[in-house]
Amino acid sequence: MNSFTEENYLKAIYKFSLLHEKGASTNSIAQALNTKASSVTDMLKKLAVKKLINYKKYYGVTLTNKGEQIAISIIRNHRLWEVFLVEKLSFKWDEVHELAEELEHIKSEKLINNLDAFLNFPSNDPHGDPIPNKNGKMKKLKMINMSELKTNEEGIFIHVKDSSDKFLKYLSKNKLEIGKKIKVIEIEPFDNSFKIAFDNQQLILSENVAKNIYIQN
């Protein structure tokens, strides 16, 4: 059995692997988990002994098959709990992440599979992320970053890169939610800000915000 802490390390390494080709560096993991590089090194040794990661001193780490399976199952738990909280317990999409961080570590196959069925086998969480099925398979999202859109192009908002409470609350405040159809009205060359239209309203997004929004492709 793995501790909550070990599981969080595996998850961090897995998420890194989705964005980069190389293995995760000690520092990148430390940053993701808000801890120190020396603590990371200690944990990497431990995970290597358990054969959950491929670790060689001074090289980046990658997950073994076993490690990846665990990471994916934790992510499945996390996303299913988020759906539950939003759909059944009337939470807002910007209130569920931290709670899911705790719930994801409750270990019971039966619990999570029954929850999945209870929720009707949802394919995406409230932030648009795909939910792995019980075999760890999930559909890959086809999407492009909003900053790649040109004037007059449109598409459906399906994913946020940064799912921090702060960012999600900013979006909620502006009624900009997953599933909405968005059209680019104008791109300001000066600061790369986007003027967009959705729901019969217009909104200006900074370059930074635009880069955190993904559009279905």
Q: Which structure tokens are listed for 217?
A: 């492709």
Q: Which of residues 29-48 bind DNA (CB under 7 A)?
A: 35-46
74: contact with a second copy by CB under 8 A: no
111 touches, from a second copy, Mn ion, DNA, none (C-beta below 5 to 8 Å by class): a second copy
Answer yes or no: are the C-beta atoms of 217 and 210 closer than 8 Å: no
Question: In the set 13, 61, 63, 103, which binds a second copy (CB under 8 A)?
Answer: 103
Q: Which of residues 96-135 bind Mn ion (CB under 5 A)?
A: 97, 101
86: contact with a second copy by CB under 8 A: no
196: contact with a second copy by CB under 8 A: no
Q: Which of residues 161-190 bind DNA (CB under 7 A)?
A: 165
Question: In the set 115, 143, 156, 197, which binds a second copy (CB under 8 A)?
Answer: 115
The whole-angstrom separation of Cα 133 and Cα 140 is 12
Alpha helix segments (H runs only) across the chain: 4-19, 26-33, 37-49, 65-87, 97-103, 109-118, 165-173, 207-210
90: contact with a second copy by CB under 8 A: yes
The whole-angstrom separation of Cα 133 and Cα 86 is 19
Q: Which of residues 72-131 bind DNA (CB under 7 A)?
A: none
Give which of 125, 121, 120, 80 is closest to 103, Cα–Cα. Answer: 80
Answer yes or no: are the C-beta atoms of 46 and 64 closer than 8 Å: no
Query: Rule CB under 7 A: which residues touch DNA?
Result: 3, 5-6, 25-28, 35-46, 55, 57-60, 165
